[in-house]
Structure 1
Amino acid sequence: MNIDEILEKQRLYFQSGATLSVDFRIEMLKKLRNVITKYEKEIACALKEDLGKSEYESYMCETGLVLSEISYMIRHVRKYARKHYVYTPLSQFAAVSYKQSVPYGNTLIMSPWNYPLLLTIDPLADAIAAGNTAIVKPSAYSPATSNLIDKMIKECFPSEYIAVVTGGRKENAALLEKKFDFIFFTGSQNVGKEVLRHAAEYLTPAVLELGGKSPCIVDKSAKIKLAAKRIVFGKYLNCGQTCVAPDYILCHESVKDQLIQEICLQIKKQFGEQPLENHDYGKIVNQKHFERLLGLIDQKKVIIGGEADQKVHKIAPTLMDQVTWEDAIMQEEIFGPILPVLTFNKIDEVIDVLADKPKPLAFYIFSEDKAVIQKLSNRCRYGGGCINDVIIHLATSEMGFGGVGESGMGAYHGKIGFDAFSHTKSIVDKKTWMDLPMRYQPYRKGLHEKLLHLFLR
């Protein structure tokens, strides 16, 4: 079945009203949860094949989070889908006013390769909860997981409701030429711009989850040992191929040496003396990205790591010192296991420097100084982040996750995800047993004018 046929069938299916019932949505979410649970072992194997992820990491960062989001939606969708009554101005008497969330309709979800299950199924769960149909386009760079997603979706749903389109750039381009009611895209900034250009042709609303160089600020008051432990975990998770990984460290000059020492100790503690031989340490997704990352490593500035295994596309956790803003590694999002360290002397320097940089997806502050934390949080612009930790802000359905400016637009997870895939109608239900006369012509001064002024005040 080609894309035009799938889309036409989905349009007809949505127009039939089949997806609108909340009971139907809950039933579909339960089917999705059941199939994810059924194929949990196969998911772990696919993620191992595509990205070298361990079974533990696969569940912690993908399968477990997916099941959590689906279960959250099952519990809350009935509340989100109901009418929400609001205050009605006296001038509209007699009437009631309410907001009603309704699905956009036929949606497109385009997902990346770095967390191929999580970043496909999470938005799909939100789309189903909101009452939409969906065409899902997983990445060609993670073929084992993409093929398994195709298998699971076909087992769960008819293609006129949810369909998977596999393939590469040709299929991406073909999908973007079509008219959808909503587009959800996760990926690079360059591709995100193309998605938005195509969406503009049809005035299609879109959520873009992009990336960027997410800074990790380490103040002189920070607990350095704990900071190093948490930074190493977040930076080298999934071999650094995480959109919210700390891209670089900006630390106070006075604690740089201590921080570097602790990071080196943590790399050895968490990944062993020979990280390339650690079976729980992931790999770079393909040769293209492997070569790109090697080109960013300046061996003269490497403190630890820098080794690579061409056969299995592995690069050891790498730390670089004496890095400047002009170095190659600071000109693009790293998206790999290389961590550069830069320094500052005053917090105001950090604010001034970052003000001229593209707004990042994530922002991390390690400090025990509340004034410093408040100043950085208020003055710096970014999608979201953590204080004295990294990455974990995205692992909850109670808060939206998304970027701002160059790192994206819109957000999802939980209620925010439901809202992202919904249009909120504002409706006034005007009663017919009374009709106030002052709004009608012919207009008269005097009592009507005073009453109108009173009602509208």
Structure 2
Amino acid sequence: MDSLEDTLQRLRDTFRAGRTRPAEFRAAQLKGLSRFLRDNKQLLQEALAEDLHKSPFESEMSEISIGQGEIDKALRNLRAWMKDEKVSKNLATQLDSAFIRKEPFGLVLIIAPWNYPVNLTLVPLVGALAAGNCVVLKPSEISKGTEKVLAEVLPRYLDQSCFAVLLGGPEETGRLLEHRFDYIFFTGSPRVGRIVMTAAAKHLTPVTLELGGKNPCYVDNSCDPQTVANRVAFFRYFNAGQTCVAPDYVLCSPATRERLLPALQRAITRFFGEDPQRSPNLGRIISEKQFGRLQGLLGCGRVAIGGQSDEGDRYIAPTVLVDVKETEPVMQEEIFGPILPIVTVGSLDEAIEFINRREKPLALYAFSSSSRVVRRVLACTSSGGFCGNDGFMHMTLASLPFGGVGASGMGSYHGKFSFDTFSHHRACLLRPPGLEKIYSLRYPPYSPGKLRLLLVAMEDRGCSCTLL
């Protein structure tokens, strides 16, 4: 086995040799990734069932098909994304060629989480490979079954001169972060995100941080309670609530809460039966540590629905809490489990004020039969993403960027945004070697006449240009 230093040096040497830059090479890697998904679909589903008790439906919908869709989109558009992007010019550069070149950063590190261990590992990888980088992939050690498949099987489908999977826990990841990378892409908690950003700062390494947060869900009085309950319950309890964009708490009036509670109970029973623990469609908590944390949150407020748990099965029932206080842990930390607090507010203004005095979330949801109400929530708040009258369906569009803002992260990806994230946008101007008489206007000795001519030449209809 190569040492860490040898592995990193091998990848750097490959990148410096220019091997990853041609479109043909990038496409070959993406096709290899596609074959990996097709050939090992059952193996991946078994690993996801082992790690998270995911049903084949959830595995296909939220892990495998999304990864395949990203690969297909990248392959269809790769050459167009790689093309130099021509830009507008001012009078002073009319005879020049001005464009943006998309260059790979070099050696990039992708640190993936455990909750969607296929999706959140492979989708960033698609962007990194499409952009022509060499990649070190660090899957989560917590989702052990999926980690094993990624470590033992995935490298067979990619060129190992420019790709490596490195394993280990926090200690090994810490040692990995001591090394210099050209870009780091991290998905995980804000606490670990700060550690990653601190390590990257030592080398001035740019980062994308896909973090989490408490995603608000405002429900207006005008809503049909059963429709809202169906949609909120589906997205809250999908993957046993272990989703960074899941609705984390509901804001509504006391009257709406009373209509919503029986509707939520009906939705839960319809989705998972009278005994959700026996349902093949409800996932499990990833680890005993996470189970213990969530069990502690069940003591907040009052349990209105669910609340049952089984430590041996890592099972927590789909739960709704009411009468929670803003100071309680369930309203202070990201829940990341099948628990939904309902907080009552007196008005839309109060709901917006409640949202805005907290950290900016990764996602924000608003339900109302009035488009005016939905657009008001959108206009008066800030979040990584927003969806009106549904859950995290905005994530299914590769034409939309996915990422956080403020404490919920920085940078974005999906579709072309992934390619752009892993590409340096290089400003290029190619000027002919002659015409020195024209260009000599900018040289000393200066005069008011020269200045007037230069200022006119540099105008670009609102674009400000500076001579350095």
The amino acid of 1:443's aligned partner reads: Y
Q: 1:439 aligns with which of 436, 442, 464?
A: 442
Map of 1:288 onto structure 2:
289
Superposition RMSD in Å = 1.2
2:16 is the counterpart of 1:15: yes
Partner-residue secondary structure (3-state), 1:140 = coil
- Between the aligned partners of 1:55 and 1:43, the Cα distance in structure 2 is 10
Which residue in the other structure is 1:410 paired with?
411
Aligned to 2:201: 200
The within-5 A match list for 1:81-96 is 81-96=82-97
How many Å separate the matches in 2 of 1:290 and 1:144?
A: 18
Aligned pair partner of 1:453 in 452, 455, 458: 455
User: Is the counterpart of residue 98 in structure 1 residue 99 in structure 2?
Assistant: yes
Distance in structure 2 (CA, Å) of the matches to 1:123 and 1:108: 10
Q: Which residue of 2 aligns with 1:107?
A: 108
2:337 is equivalent to residue 336 of structure 1: yes
Q: Deviations over 1:30-75 (max 9, x none)?
A: 1110111100000000000000001111000100100001111111
What residue in structure 1 maps to residue 233 of structure 2?
Answer: 232
- Range that drifts further, 146-155 or 261-270: 146-155
What is the DSSP-based 3-state SS (H/G/I as helix, E as strand, rest coil) of the residue aligned with 1:17?
Answer: coil
Q: Structure 1 CA distance, aligned partners of 2:95 and 2:62?
A: 52
TM superposition shift of 1:445: 4.0
- Maintained 8 Å contact 2:208/2:410: yes
Q: How does 1:227-306 map to 2 (within 5 A)?
A: 227-298=228-299, 301-306=302-307
Q: Distance in 2 between matches of 1:48 and 1:312?
A: 13
Which residue number corresponds to residue 379 of structure 2?
Answer: 378
Instruction: Determine whether 1:358 maps to 2:359.
Output: yes
CA offset digits 1:319-377 (Å, max 9, x no partner): 11122212221121100001110111211111212221011111001012222112110
Moved more, 82-91 or 401-410: 82-91
Contact 1:299 1:306 in 2 (8 A): no
Counterpart Cα distance in 1 of 2:336 and 2:276: 18
Q: Which residue of 2 aligns with 1:77?
A: 78
By how many angstroms is 1:246 displaced? 0.6
- Please give the secondary structure, in 1, of the residue aligned with 2:153: helix
Q: Deviations over 1:110-160 (max 9, x none)?
A: 000000000000000000000001000001100110110112322112433
Q: Which amino acid is the alignment partner of residue 366 of structure 1?
A: F
- Cα deviations across residues 400-439 of structure 1 (Å, max 9, x unaligned)? 1000011000000011111110110011111224231211
Taking the aligned partners of 1:173 and 1:408, their CA distance within structure 2 comes to 20
Quick one: distance in 2 between partners of 1:287 and 1:451?
72
**Could you tell me whether the CA contact under 8 Å between 1:210 and 1:361 is conserved in 2?**
yes
**TM-score of the aligned structures, taking structure 2 as reference length:** 0.95
User: What secondary structure, in the 3-state scheme, does the structure 1 residue paired with 2:313 have?
Assistant: coil
How far off is 1:300 after superposition? 6.7
Other-structure match for 1:43: 44
**Structure 1 segments unaligned to the other structure (5+ residues):** none
Q: Counterpart amino acid of 1:89?
A: N
The number of equivalent residue pairs is 456
Alpha-carbon distance in structure 1 between the residues aligned to 2:300 and 2:217: 22
Residue in structure 2 matched with residue 186 of structure 1 by the alignment: 187
Moved more, 4-13 or 343-352: 343-352
Matched residue of 2:426: which SS? strand
Asked if structure 2 preserves the Cα contact closer than 8 Å seen for 1:6 and 1:160, the reply is: no
Q: Report Cα offsets for 1:176-213 as digits up to 9, x if no partner.
A: 11100000000011000000000000000000000011
SS of 2:441's partner is: coil
Q: Is the 8 A contact 2:300 2:329 kept in 1?
A: no
Q: 1:164 to 1:233 in 2, by over 3 A?
A: same
Whole-angstrom distance in 2 between the partners of 1:422 and 1:455 = 31
Tell me the distance in 2 between the aligned counterparts of 1:449 and 1:359.
47
CA distance in 1: counterparts of 2:400 and 2:269, whole angstroms: 34
Deviation (angstroms), 1:253: 2.6
> Contact 2:300 / 2:330 at 8 angstroms: preserved in 1?
no
Q: Give the aligned residue type for 2:164.
A: A
Cα distance between partner residues in 1 of 2:346 and 2:398: 37
**Aligned-partner residue type, residue 119 of structure 2:** L
Is residue 153–residue 163 contact of structure 1 (8 Å, CA) maintained in 2?
no
Asked whether the 8 Å contact 1:94–1:434 carries over to 2, the reply is: no
* Bigger Cα displacement from structure 2, 363-372 vs 233-242: 363-372
The alignment partner of 1:411 has SS state of coil
Q: CA–CA distance in 1 between the matches of 2:141 and 2:455?
A: 62
- 8 Å CA contact 2:301–2:323 kept in 1: the answer is no
- Structure 1 Cα separation of the partners of residues 223 and 178 of structure 2: 50
Give TM-score scaled by structure 1 length: 0.98
Aligned residues of 2:300 and 2:324 also touching (Cα < 8 A) = no
Q: How does 1:78-227 map to 2 (within 5 A)?
A: 78-227=79-228
Cα distance, 1:449–1:328 mapped onto 2, change above 3 Å: closer
Shift of 1:242: 0.4
Residue 197 of structure 1 aligns with an amino acid whose one-letter code is: T
Q: 1:433 to 1:257 in 2, by over 3 A?
A: same
Fraction of identical pairs, as percent: 39
The Cα offsets for residues 274-303 of structure 1, whole Å up to 9 and x where unpaired, read as: 001112211000111101100100287111
Cα 1:118–1:319 shift into 2, 3 Å: same
C-alpha spacing 1:414/1:299, structure 2 compared with 1 (3 Å): closer
Q: Mark the runs of 5 or more structure 2 residues left unpaired by the alignment.
A: 460-468
